[in-house]
Chain A
Amino acid sequence: MSQQMGPPLVELQDIRVAFGGVHAVDGVTVDLLAGEVVGLVGGNGAGKTTLIKTLSGAHPADSGTILIDGEPVTITSPRDAKALGVETIYQTLALADNVDAPANVFLGRELTTRFGNLDDDAMEDATRKLMNRLNPKFLNFVVPVQSLSGGQRQSVAIARAVHFNARILIMDEPTAALGPAETKQVRDLIKQLRHEGIGIFLISHDIHDVFDLSDRISVMLQGKLVGTVNKDDVTVDEVLAMIILGKLPEEVTQKDLAELH
């Protein structure tokens, strides 16, 4: 946990996003400290992904304030977010399947020679070094990523997010498509990044993942924030009650808990 004194790394205040008449995100306020993992949980359609898209620039908020280091910022595109040190690993991975791993890692931020030409060799070299640490088994640097396994593709998406000195990392279901060994690798990576002082929003369906990795857990239900709790103060059942019933631990009765099982 962080013991910093200044403002939180990120504050999302009263964020609202509506699609047509549907309030996908309805006045949600969450924050994130440096060196902290905040788990963002909730059922399908709870608005988790929509909420973080306002921070990643994929879908700007209709209203609300985003503060980074206590300063209000405007994020209207992924470019804005990246410029502020916000990197995102999307659930869909968002890879260009037809090009190779180095091209994906550097997509939109290519390394060039002094004449402005693509420096594919430098990009391949950087990607090899990066992968050597992230996933040493990754050796397919010159084939289109569509021919890679789910875990390898995930590695490419992660490499892209961590290569550019991210301060804030958003991970949307980072382990959903992975086998046990690869899941463990991603978990270790999250712990390592957290140690380095990066703030991480972790979206996951896997409540055990969230409990294992998060410092705090924010629960959403139907576009609204149910509440944010310290992981150490709650049980899995209490978080489940928040997700399903929308009740904070102090409001939950024994009867509620019994019904969950």
Chain B
Amino acid sequence: MKAKISTRLENILRDEQARELLRRHLIGGRDGQIVVGNVRYRLSTRSVDRVAEKSQPKKVVSSR
């Protein structure tokens, strides 16, 4: 049976450096940032952070 691994987590796990950073963050039991390519992820073990994240307006960046 497959455990839950989201596409975002799969992206992190495919990148060797990001995977190592994920391991260190999780071992340390702390939140942190992980960059894969040009995407920056915020790792959180608390669902409330995610809810707060979703409630914030998205940053709009003009393409110029």
Query: Do A and B come from the same complex?
Result: no
Query: Could you list which residues of chain B lie within 8 angstroms of chain A, going by C-beta atoms?
Result: none
Residues on A close to B: CB < 8 A? none
